[in-house]
Amino acid sequence: MSTLLPLLLLTTGLVVSPALAQSLSLTSNSGVCETTDGVSQVSGYINISDDSDDAFWFWFFEARDDPDTKPLTLWLNGGPGCSAMIGLFQENGPCTVNDSAETVYNPYSWNNFSNREFLIYIDQPFGAGFSRGSTLVNSTDQAADFMWQAFQILFAHEKFSKFEGREFIIATESYGARFGPVFTQYFHSQNAKIDSGEINGTQIEVSKLLINDGKYDPLIQMRASVEYARNAPSYGPLVNTSVLMEVATAYNETCLPALQNCYDDGDADTCHDAIVSCTHDVFNPTVGDRDPNDLRQNSSTPADDVVPPTFYLDYLDDQDVLDLIGAQGSYDQCDDSVKSRFSRSGETGRSFLSNLAEIASEGKVKLLIWGGDADMKANWLGIQECIASMDWPGRSVFNETSLSALTINGEIVGQYKTVVDTNLTFIRVFEAGHSMPAYQPEVAQTVFARFLKGDVNSDD
* Cα–Cα distance, 116 to 110 (Å, whole number): 7
DSSP state of 159: T
Which amino acid type is present at position 113? Answer: F
Please count the other Cβ atoms lying within 10 Å of the Cβ belonging to residue 258: 23
Asked if 441 and 106 touch (Cβ cutoff 8 Å), the reply is yes
Helix, strand and coil percent figures for the chain, each rounded to 5: 40, 20, 40
What distance in Å separates the CA atoms of residue 73 and residue 460, rounded to the nearest whole number?
22
Q: Tell me, yes or no, if 434 is annotated catalytic.
A: yes
Kindly write down the DSSP assignment for every residue of 280-324, as one continuous string: IIIIHHHHTTEETTEEEEETTS-GGG-SS--HHHHHTT-HHHHHH
280 catalytic residue (yes or no) = no
Question: Distance (Å, rounded) from C-alpha 316 to C-alpha 297?
Answer: 25
Residue 178's SS3 state is helix
CA 306 to CA 301: how far, in whole Å?
A: 6
CA 380 – CA 370 distance, rounded (Å):
8
Provide DSSP, 55-84. Answer: EEEEEEE--SS--SS--EEEEE--TTTB-T
Q: Write down the catalytic residue from 43, 109, 131, 174.
A: 174
CA neighbor of 231 nearest in space, from 240, 242, 220, 221: 240
In sequence order, which residues have a C-beta less than 8 Å from that of residue 213 and are 6 or more positions away?
173, 174, 370, 371, 372, 375, 377, 378, 383, 434, 435, 436
Of 91, 368, 86, 369, nearest in space to 215 by CA = 369
Catalytic residue among 272, 345, 373, 434: 434
Q: 384: buried, middle or exposed (CB in 10 Å: 19+, 13-18, 0-12)?
A: buried
Alpha-carbon distance values, 331 to 25, 41, 91, 134, 340 (Å)? 18, 20, 18, 17, 18
The active-site residue, picked from 123, 281, 332, 375, is 375
d(CA 78, CA 334): 9
φ/ψ (deg, to 5) at 150 = -60, -45
Across the beta sheet with 168-173, the strand order is 2-8, 21-28, 41-47, 55-61, 118-122, 72-76, 168-173, 206-212, 366-372, 424-429, 411-419, 404-408
Catalytic residues: 174, 375, 434
